[in-house]
Amino acid sequence: MTSIPSVQNVAARQLMVVATVAAVLLAACGKTPGDAAASAQPVKAAMTVSTTVPQALEWPLTLRSNGNIAAWQEVIIGPELSNYRITAVNANVGDVVKKGQVLARIAADTVENELSESQAAVAEAEATLAEARANNARAKQLREKGFYSPQQGIQTQTVADTALARLNAAKARRHSAQIRRANAAVLSPDDGIISARAATVGMLTQPGQELFRLIRGSRLEWRAEVTAAELARIKPGQTATLSSPNNDTIEGVVRAVAPTVDPQTRIALVYVDLPDNAIQILSAGMFARGEFRLGQSPALTLPQSAVVLREGFAYVFRLENDKVSQVKIDTGRRVGERIEVSGLDTQAQVVNSGAGFLADGDTVRVVPAEVSATTPP
């Protein structure tokens, strides 16, 4: 005789069928019963962060450039006399000299003898002229009395004129000798600083020989290199700021802009006058970086800590409903701890601290900036 199942057994079998169907449905959706339970729990925040918003500021508009430090004007000082020996050298490299200061002396014995001879020649020519003029005066008196013919009067006048011409020539030779004697001292043509010295005691002077180099006025200039496109943005009178190798800041003023561009490199030079004390910090021939101030322009800025560099691009993490999304931006000028950005609106909430530890889609907990953490909790 067949037995009838009890009501309890039937109910148990029905529950088993329902559980089996639910497990099959979850497996079809790629989930397990444990996943379903986990999804019901709240998502844990990946990090505690602080946020900020872009700030619009008026920032200086600058143009960066590189260039060399050079002398404003460098004078080559050489001897005026040739084939004479140098007897004394009174200046060395780095000496600050004044205009007219004696830098070196040349043996002038021969020049002194030439001057003495020229002075004697002048005295002789003066005596000859006095005699010729006296003879001409007597000839005029005798011609008036009929003793001299007009031809003889012309001859005496010619002798007097010739004597005057010889005296003038002798005076010119004496003046030349005086100049040569003065040139026995090599003088500084202007105030400045000696940048090079080739003169030594005992060397023989030669025409066109370089004895010293002088930086006029001890003035230096910065010869900045700019491209042809940048050249039109720079005008005389603008301010330029240089950074020395010792991290000293020096300000100069644009004196001139080159009227030509190198056809090979497409680079033009901008000449920037530096202050008088620049020679105490910089040296001619030194490489320097700097920037030109072209005015001011508005800039949308963020703290540099809010910008993350990844794979050669700049990103920020924008906060929306406790989740962050990675946004690619463009960067520009930097002033202090802030950086110019583009690609954001002024109301965007951006992660300020800890952005380097975040990933796109992370859930975060926002706290004030002064208590924020930069590492995961």
CB 74 within 8 A of CB 213: yes
CATH number of 47-60+298-371: 2.40.420.20
Residue 38: pLDDT band (50, 70, 90) is very low
Q: What DSSP string describes 186-235?
A: EE-SSSEEEEEE---TTPBP-TT---EEEEETT-EEEEEEEEHHHHTT--
CB 181 within 8 A of CB 115: yes
Backbone angles phi, psi at 116, to 5 degrees: -65, -40
What is the CATH topology of the domain spanning 64-72+219-295? Elongation Factor Tu (Ef-tu); domain 3 (2.40.30)
CB 302 within 8 A of CB 76: no
Q: pLDDT digits over 57-92, tens only?
A: 888 788 899 999 999 999 999 998 888 889 999 999
Of the candidates 315, 363, 326, 52, the one whose C-alpha atom is nearest the C-alpha of residue 376 is 363
- Output the pLDDT for position 156: 80
Q: Is 349 buried (19+), middle (13-18) or exposed (0-12) by CB count in 10 A?
A: middle
CB 45 within 8 A of CB 322: yes
Residue 19: pLDDT band (50, 70, 90) is low
- Output the pLDDT for position 76: 93
Residue 39: pLDDT band (50, 70, 90) is very low
| Interval 256-285 mean pLDDT | 91
CB 86 within 8 A of CB 78: no
CB 327 within 8 A of CB 318: yes
Of the candidates 2, 51, 38, the one whose C-alpha atom is nearest the C-alpha of residue 347 is 51
CB 219 within 8 A of CB 71: yes
What does DSSP say about strands 364-366 and 47-49: parallel, antiparallel, or unpaired?
parallel
Q: Return d(Cα 377, Cα 47) in angstroms, integer.
A: 6
Amino acid at the residue 12:
A
Of the candidates 344, 54, 79, 62, the one whose C-alpha atom is nearest the C-alpha of residue 200 is 79
Query: The whole model's pTM is what?
Result: 0.59
DSSP-derived 3-state class of residue 75: strand
Q: Is 100 buried (19+), middle (13-18) or exposed (0-12) by CB count in 10 A?
A: exposed
Q: pLDDT digits over 294-329, tens only?
A: 888 888 899 988 899 988 899 999 988 888 888 999
CB 215 within 8 A of CB 74: yes
